[in-house]
Amino acid sequence: MRTLKLIFIISLLLVTGGFMSLSDSSASENNGAEKISVSKDTQPNVSSVSFSNLGYMIASWYGPGFHGKLTANGEQYNQMAFTAAHKEMPFGTFLRITNQKNSKSVVVRINDRGPYIEGRDLDLSMGTALALGMISRGVIKIKVEEISLDNYILPVASLN
């Protein structure tokens, strides 16, 4: 969960250019809650986001029969989450995967082991399969890139 929060924060920083302010005129009506703001003068501390091409792999998907059961990393499987199973990749590895037939692309996190059928490299969650448009085909060829966040440090926010 902490990794997902980190990815969300990084995405937000990349989209907003690294600065934002959560304080506005309506914030004074927040029943005494603290306001958090990040100075517009603050530069983002993201050194780089890199994509390492891992080549092409054969992917299948799994879902309903495993929903709610524990994955190999100990978390509860959610068939609609953007996750994947691989036999050897470290848990928490983020991958950008692209369906070669329609160019749809998603980011998934490795949280399980598998697939255990000869010739398949990745087992994708049902949510991922839906996003890639592969439900009816079941097995497709995908482009796989590992996402790395180099030297990322969370910016310091001030409490006002």
**Cα–Cα distance for residue pair 104/15, rounded to 1 Å:** 20
Pairing of strands 83-85, 105-112: parallel
**For residue 90, cis peptide bond before it (omega within 30 degrees of 0):** no
Whether the predicted pLDDT of 51 surpasses 70: yes
Task: Tell me the pLDDT tens digit for each residue of 117-128.
Answer: 999 999 999 999
Domains, the chain, ordered by start: 2-47+152-159 (no CATH), 48-148 (2.40.40.10)
Q: Which pLDDT band holds residue 62 (cuts at 50, 70, 90)? A: very high
> How many residues does the structure list for the chain?
160
Non-local (6+) Cβ contacts of 157 within 8 A are: 36, 37, 38
Whether the predicted pLDDT of 22 surpasses 60: no
**Cα–Cα distance for residue pair 13/49, rounded to 1 Å:** 12
Averaged pLDDT for residues 102-112: 97
Whether the predicted pLDDT of 89 surpasses 80: yes
In a 13 Å sphere around the CA of 84, the CA atoms on its Cβ side amount to 31
Q: Which pLDDT band holds residue 37 (cuts at 50, 70, 90)? A: low
Q: Which residue has the higher pLDDT, 71 or 155?
A: 71
At 34, list the tokens. Answer: 């603290």
Whether the predicted pLDDT of 69 surpasses 80: yes
Nearest-CA neighbor of 61 among 116, 134, 110, 112? Answer: 134
Buried/exposed 50-84: b ≥16 CB within 10 Å, e otherwise: eeeeeeebebbbbbeebeeeebeeeeebbbebbbb
What is the DSSP secondary structure assignment for residue 76, as one 8-state letter? B
| The overall pTM is greater than 0.85 | no
